[in-house]
Amino acid sequence: MMLSSAQKRAEYRSLFKHNVKGRLVIDRIAMGIVLGCVVIAIIPLGSILLEVFRNGISALSIEFLTQIPGAVGSGRGGIGPAIQGTIIMIGMSSMIGIPIGVMSGIFLAEFGDNRLGRTVRFFNDVFMEFPSIVLGIFAFLTIVLLLGHFSLWAGAFALSLIMFPIIARTTEESLKLVPLTYREAGLALGLRQWVVTFRIVLAAAKNGMVTGILLAVARISGETAPLVMTVLGSSQFFSGFDSPMDALPLRIWRLSLLPYDSAQQQGWGAACVLIMIILAINVGVRYYFATKNSAKGRLFYRIMGGRKK
């Protein structure tokens, strides 16, 4: 009896050992696959950055950044109008998109706790996922057909449609982080609600809002699809808000359609400028927040604040 039970126990133990071994092997394999997934995802990013900088840096020169494009295939000229167009369009769409986005975020955070607010929030999220080319068609139908020609206005309008829902949601999120007591303190002092919102709540939520706005700017500066049918592209410098204009992503697209090596070279140069703008915004925002939100950062600001007094 004892013997058989001891035998059984030994048998179980060996079974258990065998089982553990197998399970550990499966675990190792699974974790290896997981690590493989990470590597697979990192390779394209590394390759994109490497190729863009390796091929792009050599194309950069003062002439390339400031001149109008030369004759097709000549390899001369530059992307001056494209850079100018991208900057002007960012400015114009910010002028439309930021006020609407911020006000919409204020609505969602301060007055949005009801049925209308929930509807707006939901459709805001859905609108954010609208294909950007559809927004381009919409801008084409409403503005290009109305004015009768392709124009900067149409492009800026299309881009503002991409911009404002992003800003609205980030503004809402950062306004919600401001403690209710701040608002109550303001109201208790007899301030009106709009003064409280603009002078106290927005000031406290500034960082989050700036992040949202900058990320929205980074997003629209790379948008191509809605520009194809709104600003069309051109090879001249700015000549009025009513005329077609070039933009960096559009220029890259046009260059990619050309069969010449020199065009590819210029395309890499334009891609390099574009990616530097976008990565600078993204990395800058993240770095700023990493230092500001960490305990060390907060301590630093407290000390600096204390010294000023």
Partner 1 sequence: MLLAGQKSTHRIPTDKIFKVAATVAGVYVLAVIVLIVFQLYSESHLVWEREGLDFITGSEWNAVEGREAFGAAPYIMGTLVTAALAMSMGVPISIGIAMFISQAPKFIAGPLSIVIDLLAAVPSIIYGFWGLLVFREFLLYNIEYPLHDMFGNSVWLFSSAPFGLDIFSASIILAIMIIPTVSAVSREIMGAVPHMQKEAAYMLGATKWEMFKLAIFPYAKTGLIGAAILGLGRAVGETMAVTMLIGNATGPNAFPQTLFQPGQTMSSIIANEFIEASPASLHLPALIGIGFTLLLVAVAINIVAHLLVSRMLKVKEGVINA
Please list every residue from 145 through 164 that binds partner 1, using CB under 8 A: 145, 161, 164
Q: How far is the CB of 112 from partner 1 (least distance, A)?
A: 7
Return the number of the residue (77 or 233) whose C-beta is nearest partner 1: 233
The answer to the question of residue 271 lying near partner 1 (CB under 8 A) is yes
User: Binding to partner 1 (CB under 8 A): which residues in 197-236?
Assistant: 197, 218-219, 221-225, 228-229, 232
User: Binding to partner 1 (CB under 8 A): which residues in 30-89?
Assistant: 30-31, 33-38, 40-42, 44-45, 47-48, 51-52
The answer to the question of residue 278 lying near partner 1 (CB under 8 A) is yes
User: Which range of residues in 178-186, 234-242, 281-289, 292-300 is near partner 1 by CB under 8 A?
Assistant: 281-289
Q: How far is the CB of 230 from partner 1 (least distance, A)?
A: 10
Q: How far is the CB of 220 from partner 1 (least distance, A)?
A: 10
Return the number of the residue (18 or 23) whose C-beta is nearest partner 1: 23
User: Binding to partner 1 (CB under 8 A): which residues in 93-122?
Assistant: 99-104, 106-108, 110-112, 116-117, 119-120, 122
Return the number of the residue (91 or 131) whose C-beta is nearest partner 1: 131
Angle 153-148-88 from CA coordinates, rounded to 5°? 20
Q: How far is the CB of 35 from partner 1 (least distance, A)?
A: 6
The answer to the question of residue 189 lying near partner 1 (CB under 8 A) is no
User: Binding to partner 1 (CB under 8 A): which residues in 13-32?
Assistant: 23-24, 26-27, 30-31
